[in-house]
A and B are shown apart, each in its own frame.
Chain A
Amino acid sequence: MLPKPKKNRNVYLDHAATTAMDERVLKAMRPYFLEQFGNPSSLYNLGRTANRALASARATISAALHALPENIIFTSGGTESDNLAIYGIARAHQSRGQHIISTLIEHHAVLGPLADLKKDGWDITYAGVNKEGFVSADEIIKKIRKDTTLVSVMYGNNEVGSIQPIAEIGRAILKYRKENNTAYPYFHTDACQAAGALTLDVEKLHVDLMTINGSKIYGPKGAGILYLRRGVKIKPMILGGGQEKRTRSGTENVPAIIGLAEALKLAQADRIKEGDKQKKLCSMLWNEIQKKIPKVKLNGPEIGDGRLPNNLNVTFMDVEGEALLLYLDEYGVMCSTGSACTSESLEPSHVLMAMGLPYEYAHGSLRFTFGRENSLADVTYLMKYLPAIVEQLRELSPVSIGFKQHAKYKK
C-alpha cells in the first residue's frame, strides 16, 4: 500500500477556485461590520461615514483600473458581474441587434446567460481556440456583423491559464467601430483569474466592460465589480432603491467592498513579484512531474508569458482525475480536475474539449493553481507522494492509452 506521511501537511493548490482572505483585508473590513455599520444612503453622520468609505474604495479600485470612480459598479461577485454585463448590454441594445460573439472556453457565468439569451431569440457565435487554448483576435473580428452588440472574451482562462489577446481584440474592435462609424460592438472581458497577475488598465486593454471579483485575490467572497465605460448603457437586473447609479440596486455591502478594494490594491502592487515566484513553483512542479512520472501531458500553453503564472494543468494518462484528487486529499493536497466525474453534467471540462483534447485525456487531468502562501516545500511534499499515487491508480487501471494492450486482456 501507499506510504503514509508521518505528519499531514496542508497544501492548498486550488487558488483559481478561491483564496484565503488576507489578514490586512480582514483588518480593513472589520470596523464596517460593528461600528461603522451605516447605510451609505443615510444622511446622518453614520451613513455619511459609510458613504465616504464607499467612495474611497471606489477611488482605490478605479485607480487600479485607470478608470474613473463613476465607472465602477459594485456587485455580489464575478457571476453577477458577468451576468449583468451580458444581459445588461443585450437587453439595453436589442433594438440595434441581437447578435453576441464569445468563445467556447468562457466561464459558466458567461456561457449560462448566453445560452439563456439564445432561447429568447439571440444569435450567439462562439469562437474556438487552438490546442493551447488561445482565441485568435482575427477570428473574433471576422465574426462581427452589423447586428453584433457585444463581444465577450475572458482575460485569463481558469482551467488552463491561457491569456487571451484582450488588448489586440480591443484595438481591432475600436478600428472596426471607427471604420464603420458605429458605437458597436461593445467589448466585455472576465478578468477574475487575471486580477492577481496581469495589468487591469482598461485604457490599454480597450475594454468597455470588465468583471473582477474579490474571492480570487485574497479578498472576501460575495464581492465583485463590473467596470462600465462612461456612456455605455446597460439594463439593470436588480431593481430597487437605485443604488450604483441605478444599475444595481440594493444597499451596498460596505465591509465586503472595503475588503475588495484593499485586496485589489495589494494584489496589483504585488502582481509581478508574486507572478514570478508562482511561475517558478509551477515550472519546478512540472519539471519534477516529467522527471518522476511517465505518460504525462501539459494542458494549455507552455509555462511563460502566455500562461497565468500560477496555473499548471496536467493529464496523467490511464488514470481518472477524481480518483487522483481524492487520494491527494488524503495527503492534505487540494487541487481540482477536469474529469467528468466531478461535474454535475457528467461531461468533462468544456475548456479541454474545446482545445481538442480527447475525452480520455480530459478525464485524467489535474489542475494545480499556486498562491501567495505556497513555497518550494509544498512542491517537495506533493512530489513525495504523487508518483506513488499515480502508480497505484495505474495498477488498478485497465487502460493504457497509446500503448500496446497487455496479452492478458486478449481473449
Chain B
Amino acid sequence: MSKKVKKTDDLSEPVDIRSSSGGGWLYSDVVKDHFFNPRNFMQYDEEEKFEYNGMGRVGSPACGDEMVMWLKINPQTEKITDCRWRTFGCGSAIASTSVLSEMLVEKGGMPIDEALKLKPQDILARLGGLPDRKVHCSVLGDKALQAAVNDYFRRTGQHARVLTAGAKVIDAALNVTDKDIEEAVLEGARVLEDVQKKLKVGVFNKESVPQIEELLRFYTEKYYG
C-alpha cells in the first residue's frame, strides 16, 4: 500500500465522516468508546444462563436498526438489577444502546418508573450528542426499554400498568398515524412534502393537513428543538 496516505487519528480522536453532500458529522468520544467497547451486551455464552423477566424487541433489519433488550427486575424494589442487549445497526445505534444499558444498571439499578420516563434526549445528552440524522438510533433504545418493561408488567400480571402507545389515525384514507409522522420527522422530514415522500403516500386529505403540520412542528421541536 502506498505510503502517501498518512493515518494520524487515534482512539482519542472523534471519528469524522463526511456525508455525500459535504456536511460533516462527528461522533463524540463517548460514542466511540461505547461503540468499540460495548457494555452489557448479550454474549454468546450467556444466552442460556442469563435470567431475565422482561424482554423487548423493536425495529427490523429492513429498517436498518433492530434492538433487543433483556431486563432483570427485582419485583420487591422494582429496580433494574441487570440487563443485556443486542443491536443491529450503525455505530451510533450500538453506542446508544450500550450507554442506555449503563444508565439502567448503575448506582444499584434504576427504578422502572424512572426508566419509563427516560427520554431520547437523556441518552443523547449522555452520549455527548449525535448528528441530527442519527437521532432516530437513540429513540429506538428508549422504545426497546419501554417494550421490555411492558413485557415485565405482563409477565407479573400487572396488566393495568402496561403502557400502550396507541397510534392515532390522522388521515383515514391513507391510514397515516401520528406515529408515522413521528417516524418521518426522525428520518429527516421537516415539511409536508418530506412526509409524503418518506411515507410514500400521495396527496393528503385537505382536512388532515393542518393536523399533520402541527404534528410536524411538535415532533421537530421535541427531538431537534
Residue ranges of A at the interface with B (Cβ–Cβ < 8 Å) = 1, 8-12, 20, 108, 318-323, 326-327, 329-330, 332, 339-346, 348, 358-360, 363, 373-375, 377-378, 395-399, 401, 406, 408-409, 411
Contacts and interface: CB of A to CB of B under 8 A. Distances in A.
Contacts of A318: 61, 88
26 contacts: A9-B1, A10-B7, A320-B88, A320-B89, A321-B90, A322-B91, A326-B91, A341-B64, A341-B89, A342-B19, A344-B19, A358-B62, A359-B62, A359-B64, A374-B1, A396-B41, A396-B94, A397-B88, A398-B86, A399-B61, A399-B88, A406-B47, A408-B48, A408-B50, A408-B70, A409-B57
A360 B44 contact: no
A320 to B, nearest CB: 5
A397 B1 contact: no
A360 B5 contact: no
Contacts, number: 117
Interface in B38-87: 38, 41-44, 47-48, 50, 55, 57, 60-68, 70, 86-87
A397 B67 CA distance: 8
B188 A346 contact: yes
* Residue from A10, A12, A363, A396 with most neighbouring chain B CB atoms (10 Å): A396
A396 B65 CA distance: 12
Interface string B10-45: 010001010111000000000000011110011110
Given A340-B64, A341-B64, 7 more contacts: A10-B1, A329-B15, A341-B91, A375-B1, A377-B1, A378-B1, A397-B87
A78 to B, nearest CB: 14
Contact of A12 (B2, B36, B68): B2
B142 interface: no
B117 interface: no
A4 to B, nearest CB: 10
Contacts of B57: 398, 409
A320 B90 contact: yes
Contacts of B1: 9-12, 373-375, 377-378
B133 interface: yes
Given A11-B1, A329-B15, A346-B64, A398 B88 contact: yes
Contacts of A360: 60-62
A398 B68 contact: yes
B102 interface: no
A323 B5 contact: no
Interface size class of B (residues with CB under 8 A): 35 or more
Nearest to A373: B2
Contacts of A377: 1
B158 to A, nearest CB: 16
List the 8 closest pairs (A to B, CB-CB), nearest first. A341-B90, A360-B61, A322-B90, A398-B86, A359-B62, A398-B68, A373-B2, A399-B88
Highest count of chain A CB atoms <10 Å: which of B1, B43, B65: B1
Contacts of B17: 342
Contacts of B86: 396-398
Nearest to B22: A344
Nearest to B155: A411
A8 B7 contact: yes
A398 B55 CA distance: 12
Contact of A409 (B11, B68, B187): B68
A294 to B, nearest CB: 14
Q: Which of B5, B61, B65, B151 gathers the greatest number of chain A CB atoms within 10 Å?
A: B61
Contacts of A20: 2, 4-5
B62 A332 contact: no
Given A322-B90, A322-B91, A330-B36, A399 B66 contact: yes
